[in-house]
Structure formats: C-alpha cells, structure tokens
Chains A and B, each alone.
Chain A
C-alpha cells in the first residue's frame, strides 16, 4: 500500500522524569484502516494515544497528521491542524461534563468551530440519531444515562466536526459484555458510513481480532510486534504476543490458540527501569528454550520483518512453532 499515511509517528518518546512511558515508537496509520494498539497495564498505550492526539507533549519525536507536522506548532496552529483528529475515551462517567446537557456536550465542538445555534441544534439531532439515541435526549444530563449510552454520546461528540481519524482509548472496558457488542457494531458501522480511520487502544484481544485490520503489540513503551490481524493471531513472531494469546481463555470446547500453556513468571518491570538488551528477556519463555540466548541480553532487537509483519525479537522465526496450526483450529471451530 502506498497511500500517504493519515497519521505518522516517528521515534516518539514520552518521558515523565525517570518513567519512559513511550520509549521509541514509530508507526503509520493508513486511511480507512483500524490499527489496534494492545498491551497490558504500564505498556504505555494510553500515553501513546494521548501523544498521538498531541494532548500529551512528546519529549522527543514527531507526529504528522494529514501531511502536516503537529509537533512544534503553536497552540493556535495546532488547534487548526488537528481538527479532524478526535478521540473517544475510556470512562463514560468521566468523559462527559456532568453539568452540561447532552445536546450542549455533543454540540460543543460545533460551537467552538463557530456554527450558529440553529444549525448546531439540527446537526446535534442528526448525530444523536446516528448513534442510536433519540434526538429528544438532547435536553437531558449525563447522569440520566447508562454507561453504554454515555459512550454513545461520547462517540456522537467525536463525530461532530466530521473527523477523519478517531483514537478510541479503551472505549469498551467499562461496559457490560452485551453492551460492548452494541458499541463495537456501532463503531464498525460508522466507520463504513463515514470512511473513518481508527486507532483502537485496548487490552482485550478478542475485541481486537473482531475490529482491527492491523495490530501493534506494546511492551514497556515499545511496539514489539506489528502485523495484520490474522497474521498476528495465527503466526505471531514475538514471544510476548504468544504469551498474551495463551493467557486469554477460550470458551471450553474450543481449542486454545497456543499448543502449550505459557505462563509468564514474575511481574512486568517498571517503566522506570527498563531491562537492558531486549526489554522482554527477563520474562521470556523462548529464551529458556534456546541454546544460545546471549543476544537477548546483549542488544535490543530492532523491529524487523517480512513484508508488513514486524517483530522485535532476535529469534522471531522460532516463535510461531508453539501455535496450534490454523487448519487444525478451523476443524475445532467447525464443531463449536
């Protein structure tokens, strides 16, 4: 694919004193795709999301959106350049101002953009309808709505000024299972309708498999693997990805993705004390199986790969052997 990326990050670092929340991330987001960023707590994915939106100033590195460089712009210029980049947040209870009516919340971006009141009201009604809430909900306050409905309001607000890219920061984590499905379907539907591009941050791999076209796996501030979704789930090339896939329980009666159970030992290291060499080596199961793992302590692997599948592991080729073959998987799916 040779489209110009809609969002591009180069060598992004975000540091809070000693903590290296984002420790050298480069990525491209192509128009129309859904790029998922997955990882566990402390991996830096939320900070990365905020940095990509320039809500958090990067310590080092550059971000450009729709061809315009965002880092280094003055506040006014940034506001203008970033207009078509919006965000949906994790906590449906904290993402809406409790003192504003829903119609005002959804219409605020339009107000800031200078739209007149009548036109605003009309557009707000459209937006509320679009996300499955009635237009007559505009006069209510957020506290009258459930978590799932508030998330819809947040989505309506993000859509108000017709963005091209929406960063979704764990939008489903606070919702019940059956509501999650509704929001997932809504997001997919809106993407189709408005040709949106998503950056989807999540810790839930099952949802990611459902929604994403490409997946980036983060560990301790770095992307350790980046691949198209099916390639990642069927033939991963980083041991941490395998550990994640092994850890997620599958419904009894279906077979797990990984042949053997991989339990990581110990706790993740603190982002203030990133291990030398490969940052994953302290918990890596593959290292224990290798004859000569000296490289793992010696140097940080670069994310290299074949085609569009990158993995930061010195022994990336050995990883997929623990995966259950996809063809075998499909057989058991037939029964389930």
Chain B
C-alpha cells in the first residue's frame, strides 16, 4: 500500500484524493515552488505567439543588443528578440519532452511486458538486446542516431522516406529529435516495467484470474498494466528531464533542430561562442534549462516518494 493509496484511502472520491494531494504539496515548499515554476514555463511556451516580438524576425541593425526596455533580454547575433526565442525554445523543449517520452515509454512498456510475461527464451533474447543498448553511452548513441536521421531525412530523400522527410522539414527538424529520443530512451523503462511485471506475474490474484479462465491478454490488460502504472510513472519522471537535456545537447551540437528554429540548446551554442563579448546571450537559455531541470527533478522526487510503498503508513504494526 503506497502513500498515494493511503492518501486516497478512506473514501474513494476523486475530490477527497485531490484534497489530500494538495495537503501534501503544501507541506513541501520546494515542491510547490517547482510546480509553480513548471506551470509558468508551460504558460510561457503557450503564450509565445502573443509576445510583442517575433522569434524569427531578424533586425541586423540591432544585433547583440543588451537587455533594454524594448527587448527585455536583448537581441541575438541576428537581431532577433531573445525573450521571444526563449519562449519558442520553451515550446520546443516541452513538445520534445512530452512527445518523445510518450514514444519512449510506450516502447519500453511493450518490450518490458512482452519480455517478462513470455519469459524463457524470448525474455532472454530481448534482455540481451536491451543489455547491448545499455552498453552504449546513451548520449553518444543519441548523437549518432540523430546525425543519421538528419542525414537521411534532412536532404533529398526518395521512396519511403520522402513523406517522412517532408514532415521533418515542416517540423523544423523537430521530428528528427523526437525520433531519436523516442527510439533511444525506452531502455530504462523496459527494465523497470519488466521487473515489475515479473513480480506481479506470480501474484496470487493473477493466479486466481487464470483459474477463472482469463486469457493472457486479459490478465495483462486488467491486472498487470494497471498495477504497473506506478512504475511507469516513475520511469516518466526519469525520462522527461533526460529528454529535455538531451534535446538541448543535440541542438547544441548541431544535430538537433534545424535553424532558424530556436531551441535552448542552439541558443546556448551561440551564447557560448560570444561569451567574451556578449555574455547576456548565454545567461538566459542556461538559466532557463537549469531551472526547468531542477524543478522537474524536485517534482520527480516527490512523485517517487508518493508512489513508493516503503514510504507509507505501515499496516499491521506489531501490537
């Protein structure tokens, strides 16, 4: 029984559960601040079209201007408003975070569940494959993969790849990053899910279900997956910040989004180059990504504590 169960125990009402969660948040100021910050970033990204300046409009005359009343964070090397670029960059980061996590977790759950449930030879084959994926340093692997994707879809493509290439172009290179992160980020999730399903497979209520005549898919759907949700959520708390960081890294190295699409990573790249002369260009994106990751980590920690069965009211204390 987890703290979350306890939090929602006596009555099942959603409202009651939310009230308990709210009390939990209030007790934890760091969590409250982080949640507020993430909400602010989300709104910031959402409202980017409504900002006074256009992130793509170049104004060569006003290049590298420092922060002013007109451009609150200054302008970059092509005269574009940094604040606006930051906002669109936020959008890019969040989109990448959510979409690639969805892909990665979906693949991870699929792979983990099949391996654990099938067991035996299939489990062995799958897990050896997972092990070999783990053997690569994941950042390096992501870079190689991203470069490959860029190469295949960035230029002229034919046949099957043509529609993908078109989508790639339209997304400003975002599709490439999504594919990369999605196809490389599933590994941890698959291991976590597999471990959980393995232990649940032999639970007595699963045996009871089998005796009642349930098919494997019924058992997976109705019993194994719902009871794996806490683990999946925990996996998400790891994958999301990692995705944001990796996207920034890929963009920084030039294998992420394509210019002129702003990304916090590309902004850091240009900022780093002009650190000596125009330090303001580096400060904004660095702070943005740093604080966002910090907030995500705090929220992730809190979520993991909430879901961890060890951190909960113990039933049956010895009396």
Q: Mark B210-230, 1 if CB is under 8 A from A, else 0.
A: 111111001000110011000
User: Which residues in chain B, 198-220, are within 8 Å of chain A measured between CB atoms?
Assistant: 203-205, 207-215, 218
Q: With the chains together, A55 CA to B211 CA distance in Å?
A: 8
Indicate if A87 sits at the interface (CB-CB under 8 A): yes
Is there contact, CB below 8 Å, between A95 and B213? no
Give the segment of A105-113, A200-208, A299-307 that binds chain B: A105-113
Give the segment of A17-25, A75-83, A265-273 that binds chain B: A75-83
Indicate if A154 sits at the interface (CB-CB under 8 A): yes
Q: Mark B22-54, 1 if CB is under 8 A from A, else 0.
A: 000000000000000000000000000000000
Is there contact, CB below 8 Å, between B204 and A113? no
Chain B hits for A89, CB < 8 A: 204, 207-208
Chain A hits for B223, CB < 8 A: 97
Determine which residue in B207, B210, B211, B215 has the highest number of CB atoms from chain A within 10 A of its CB, and name it.
B211
Q: A53-B211, A109-B213, A143-B5 are in contact. Are A97 and B218 (CB under 8 A)?
A: no
Is there contact, CB below 8 Å, between B213 and A83? yes
Total interface residues on A, CB under 8 Å, equals 34
Is there contact, CB below 8 Å, between B227 and A97? yes
Chain B hits for A85, CB < 8 A: 211
* Chain B residue at minimal CB-CB distance from A88: B208
Indicate if A157 sits at the interface (CB-CB under 8 A): yes
Q: A55-B210, A87-B211 are in contact. Are A97 and B9 (CB under 8 A)?
A: no
Is there contact, CB below 8 Å, between A55 and B227? no
User: Which residues in chain B, 1-23, are within 8 Å of chain A measured between CB atoms?
Assistant: 1, 5, 9, 12
Q: With the chains together, A85 CA to B9 CA distance in Å?
A: 34
Is there contact, CB below 8 Å, between B212 and A109? yes
Indicate if A141 sits at the interface (CB-CB under 8 A): yes
Indicate if A326 sits at the interface (CB-CB under 8 A): no
B94 to chain A, nearest CB (A): 30
Indicate if A144 sits at the interface (CB-CB under 8 A): yes
B215 to chain A, nearest CB (A): 8
Q: With the chains together, A87 CA to B12 CA distance in Å?
A: 29
Q: With the chains together, A95 CA to B207 CA distance in Å?
A: 8
Is there contact, CB below 8 Å, between A94 and B204? yes
Q: Mark A148-169, 1 if CB is under 8 A from B, else 0.
A: 0000001001101100000000
Is there contact, CB below 8 Å, between A113 and B213? yes
Chain A hits for B222, CB < 8 A: 108
Chain A hits for B210, CB < 8 A: 55
Is there contact, CB below 8 Å, between A98 and B5? yes
Q: With the chains together, A113 CA to B211 CA distance in Å?
A: 12
Chain B hits for A197, CB < 8 A: none
B interface, size bucket: 20 to 34
Is there contact, CB below 8 Å, between A97 and B213? no
Interface of B is mostly: helix
Is there contact, CB below 8 Å, between A96 and B212? no
A78 to chain B, nearest CB (A): 9
Indicate if A91 sits at the interface (CB-CB under 8 A): yes
A179 to chain B, nearest CB (A): 14
Is there contact, CB below 8 Å, between A108 and B12? no
A39 to chain B, nearest CB (A): 20
Is there contact, CB below 8 Å, between B213 and A99? no
Q: With the chains together, A28 CA to B319 CA distance in Å?
A: 44
User: Which residues in chain B, 214-260, are within 8 Å of chain A measured between CB atoms?
Assistant: 214-215, 218, 222-223, 226-227
Determine which residue in B212, B218, B223 has the highest number of CB atoms from chain A within 10 A of its CB, and name it.
B212
A288 to chain B, nearest CB (A): 41
Indicate if A86 sits at the interface (CB-CB under 8 A): yes
Q: A94-B205, A96-B205, A143-B5 are in contact. Are A86 and B227 (CB under 8 A)?
A: no
Chain B hits for A80, CB < 8 A: 213
Q: Mark B284-319, 1 if CB is under 8 A from A, else 0.
A: 000000000000000000000000000000010000
Chain A hits for B226, CB < 8 A: 99
Chain B hits for A83, CB < 8 A: 213
Choice from A95, A112, A141, A161 contacting B12 with Cβ under 8 Å: A141
Q: With the chains together, A109 CA to B218 CA distance in Å?
A: 12
Chain A hits for B9, CB < 8 A: 141, 143-144
Is there contact, CB below 8 Å, between B208 and A87? yes
Choice from A55, A139, A143, A144 contacting B207 with Cβ under 8 Å: A55
A74 to chain B, nearest CB (A): 12
Is there contact, CB below 8 Å, between A112 and B212? yes
* Chain B residue at minimal CB-CB distance from A95: B204
Choice from B204, B212, B215, B315 contacting A108 with Cβ under 8 Å: B212
13 new A-B contacts at CB < 8 Å, known A50-B207, A87-B208, A112-B213? A53-B211, A55-B207, A80-B213, A83-B213, A94-B205, A95-B205, A98-B227, A99-B226, A108-B212, A109-B213, A112-B218, A143-B1, A157-B208
28 contacts between A and B (CB under 8 A): A55-B207, A55-B210, A55-B211, A79-B213, A82-B213, A83-B213, A87-B208, A91-B204, A94-B203, A95-B204, A95-B208, A97-B205, A98-B1, A98-B5, A99-B226, A105-B205, A108-B222, A109-B213, A112-B209, A112-B214, A113-B212, A113-B213, A143-B1, A143-B5, A143-B315, A154-B208, A157-B212, A158-B208
